[in-house]
Amino acid sequence: MPKSKRNRQVTLSKTKKKGRGHKETIVNGIKEAVEKYACVYVFSFESMRNQKLKEFREQLKSSSRFFLGSNKVMQVALGRSAADEISSGIHKVSKLLRGDAGMFLTNLSKEEVERLFKEFKEYDFARTGSLATEKVDLKEGPLEQFTHEMEPFLRKQGMPVRLNKGVVELVSDFVVCEEGKPLSPEASRILRLMGIKMATFRLNLICRWSPDEFELYIDGPDESDVECS
């Protein structure tokens, strides 16, 4: 007897993969944006926070456009060499789309863009695996910043604590994290409880391209290296 379709399980989280059509849409969007906007910037990002970036994009949407995603797709859109670039010299931009990078196309002045990117930053709690920016250690004794209800949770994070007359007490010195070392899941949770923010979401300009000029912002390859790479 065939199974009833009514009893068939459906995975609601299943989504279609972004295929060729999606990539072509991005490529065409980038090509149109290069014609529309005066300058193209490549930027790198650290400690990405999607909501903060969304707010930044919204702030600048009347004069600018951001592209983030597959570096290879963005490279194809711009052209990877002088032979297939969509505008003179723009393949140099393509060469710098590596790692955590994106593109910013705009009609804003160079001075305004540099100011906006320099001022843009968001402090947040560091996630597991992030490098600690400082050493955090707790000394033996009462931890009055924590309520007594938190004592079991703190013990689960590996902290040597106990309740003493309703006050959470550290029975021995405890190192939460070491500067320059990756944060464990437990350390990131403790830092969040302590209100210590070690992550800074920032955008760093790498280069600027216009039909008349190409400029590098970073220490690294000079223009001839970008041209020949």
Assess contact for 169 and 86: CB atoms under 8 A: no
Assess contact for 146 and 155: CB atoms under 8 A: no
**Element holding 225 (H helix, E strand):** helix 223-228
Q: How far apart are alpha carbons 199 and 211 in whole angstroms?
A: 37
Topology of 130-196 in CATH? Molybdopterin biosynthesis moea protein, domain 2 (3.90.105)
Task: State yes or no: pLDDT of 9 exceeds 60.
Answer: no
Name the percent of the chain in helix, strand, coil, to the closest 5: 35, 25, 40
DSSP 123-169: EEPPPTTPBPSS-EEE-SEE-TTS-GGGHHHHHHTT--EEEETTEEE
pLDDT tens digits, one per residue of 167-212:
999 999 999 999 999 999 999 999 999 999 998 888 999 999 999 9
Task: State yes or no: pLDDT of 24 exceeds 90.
Answer: no
Same fold, 22-121+202-227 and 130-196: no
CATH class of 22-121+202-227: alpha beta
| Domain spans of the chain, in order of start | 22-121+202-227, 130-196
Q: How far apart are alpha carbons 23 and 21 in whole angstroms?
A: 5
Residue 113's region, left for phi above 0, alpha for psi from -120 to 50, else beta, is alpha
Question: Which of 108, 99, 97, 120 has the alpha carbon at shortest distance from 26?
Answer: 97
Mean pLDDT within 11-23? 61
Question: Which of 198, 193, 196, 203 has the alpha carbon at shortest distance from 129?
Answer: 198
Mean pLDDT within 38-46? 92
H helix runs in 167-213, sequence order: 185-194
pTM over 0.95: no
